Amino acid sequence: MSASSQITILIPDPDEMMFVTGANDSNIDRIEREFDVKIVSRGAELRISGDPSQVARVGELVGAMRSVAERDEALRKPALERLIGDAKDAPLGPPEQMRDLIATTVRGKRITPQSPNQRAFIDAIRKNDLVFGVGVAGTGKSYLSAAMGVAALRDRKVARLILTRPAVEAGERLGFLPGDLTEKIDPYLRPLYDALYEFMPAERFARARERNEIEVAPLAFLRGRTLNEAFIILDEAQNTTPAQMKMFLTRLGYGSQAVVNGDVTQIDLDRGQKSGLIVAREILRGVEGIGWVDFDDRDVIRHELVARIVRAYDRHERDQQ
């Protein structure tokens, strides 16, 4: 007799559950036929049982379906067909493979770790309340952090998603930029918005901002606050001072989780000023409950030319030294 397994997926959002199950359970019926599994929907729970490899496939499929639940009706059906086709064509594997699917973008692209360090990064976020991701540009630090944060908010593991970064860039400061405070700050936060838009439709993002479920703000705006039940992402952490980094790390409140990302090769602080990320590495290495993942050029997932550029600059800097 072949082995059987069961997983339970919690879907708190009634609209997402309705989309997954379909009208009169039509999607459930189809998925059961396509994958030879048994699916039971009870309240906010979806129980999937059957052959372990097929259960893993369906678990991934359900996760992907939830990510497209808020699309326009005209976009849902073709997206669903593509997701079911992808799930059927996925290689067979043990149920543990279900952990490979991190998120699905609003365009239906399935996001999975593309390197051992990316996998280690995701595992570290799952296991620790504080994780540092350190490495060169293009290694997926911010992108994967945003995906994990959106998933945590969607699954109601946290009440808020907060994205922040220091308002420091090469050659510019806020006072030299035109406009009011919001207009001055916006260029610094644009990369964070771009990451969120990959995983949330614009309408859903706007509603979440209005309900204060999502906050995108400069690091200085967090001073004096205690952040409870929040998933917090600090980006460009190499541009924090030691005092700013300490301030950020001590904002962590009950039921919260933080991810700190940075690239120590792109520090834009004034000459002679220490980076808070480098100091934090010296102080916090070995502290229990903190995860560290170091990325390198092998993890670059942008255009293949980016990895070659990174290596060329590394060689040049070594030669100069």
pLDDT of residue 96: 43
- Comparing C-alpha atoms, which of 232, 230, 225 is closest to residue 251? 225
Express each pLDDT in 175-224 by its tens digit. 555 555 556 666 767 777 888 888 887 788 888 888 989 988 888 888 88
Distances (CA, A) of 258 to 126, 128, 176, 288: 11, 9, 31, 15
Query: What pLDDT is stored for residue 258 in this prediction?
Result: 96
Position 111 pLDDT exceeds 50: yes
More confident residue, 93 or 117: 117
Domains of the chain (ranges, CATH numbers):
5-105 (3.30.1370.10), 116-320 (3.40.50.300)
| Burial class (CB within 10 angstroms; exposed 0-12, middle 13-18, buried 19+) of 216 | buried
Residue 20's identity, in one-letter code, is V
* Two tokens, residue 60: 């991934």
DSSP bridge partners of 214: 161
Check pLDDT > 80 for residue 266. Answer: yes
Grouping H, G, I as helix, E, B as strand and the rest as coil, residue 307 is helix
Q: What dihedral do alpha carbons 19, 109, 259, 122 form, nearest 10°?
A: 100
Report the DSSP beta bridge partners of residue 217: 164
Dihedral angle over CA of 68, 73, 79, 80, nearest 10: 90
Number of H helices, E strands in the chain: 11, 11
Q: What is the pLDDT of residues 18-76, one digit of tens each?
A: 888 888 888 899 899 988 999 998 888 889 998 888 888 888 888 778 777 665 555 56
Least confident of 140-149, 279-288, 291-300: 291-300
- Arithmetic mean of pLDDT, 116-125: 90
pTM exceeding the 0.85 threshold for the entire prediction:
no
